[in-house]
Amino acid sequence: MNVSWTKHRFSGGLLALDTTNTVVLRGDPARSFDRFEDTAEIARFAAAAEGFRSAELGGRGLSFQFSDAAVRRVIVLREAADRMLRAAVLSGGIETIHLPDFLRACAACLDESAERVGADGMPFGDPSLPIRFEAALAVSALSLLAVDAWKKVRICPNCNWLFVDRSRNSSRLWCDMSVCGNRNKAKRHYQRGKLAGGEAVHV
Ligand SMILES: [Zn+2]
């Protein structure tokens, strides 16, 4: 069945984090699964990301040219970014042990790309043409290496997703208040024995 790429699935706040979050419930082997297991979903994710990440992309479109090698590059960068950022959130600093894999994965995704990124109003290059999804993923991931960027990354205590906390007092707890925040409230009620119902399950 096709994944419905809803707004909630773009709670990460950056293309690179939304991509890491295509693995659901990381750290819970019994329930974790990969939304890119059907690799056709990568192109559908990219199409949805054009809309949900339009501000980050400067309105630029994303194109994903399917090949086994392209899929592999996306997955390798997704996993390297997840490892590096999760460790940084937990330890409070970027662990250089994670950088070689991360940077190699970014380099592979940028191979043969010829974009001019970061110009005024064109953060991902000229919006009149789409950018390759892999290249955009690498640009987004590399933007997280800036100190003020990765220090805003959080781990959702309900679903374990990564997200950027852009709240004014840096106090955002949940990836998505309307999903994980509410589920946690429900769970607390349930634990107090006031509410009968199932365990919180991520969608
Ligand atoms: Zn969450």
Residue 33 C-alpha to ligand 1 middle, in angstroms? Answer: 15
Please tell me the predicted confidence (pLDDT) of residue 189.
Answer: 65
Measure the CA–CA gap between 31 and 201, rounded to whole angstroms.
Answer: 9
Please tell me the predicted confidence (pLDDT) of residue 196.
Answer: 45
Please tell me the predicted confidence (pLDDT) of residue 29.
Answer: 92
Residue 200 C-alpha to ligand 1 middle, in angstroms? Answer: 11
Total Cβ atoms within 10 A of residue 110 = 21
Residue 178 C-alpha to ligand 1 middle, in angstroms? Answer: 10
Residue 6 C-alpha to ligand 1 middle, in angstroms? Answer: 14
* Structural domains in the chain, sorted by start: 7-167 (1.10.3300)
Residue 155 C-alpha to ligand 1 middle, in angstroms? Answer: 8
Residue 36 C-alpha to ligand 1 middle, in angstroms? Answer: 19
Residue 78 C-alpha to ligand 1 middle, in angstroms? Answer: 18
Please tell me the predicted confidence (pLDDT) of residue 186.
Answer: 73
Measure the CA–CA gap between 45 and 202, rounded to whole angstroms.
Answer: 18
For the chain (length 203 residues), average pLDDT per consecutive 10?
A: 94 98 94 96 98 97 96 98 97 96 98 94 95 98 92 96 95 94 74 50 51
Whether the CA torsion 137, 142, 148, 154 is positive or negative: it is positive
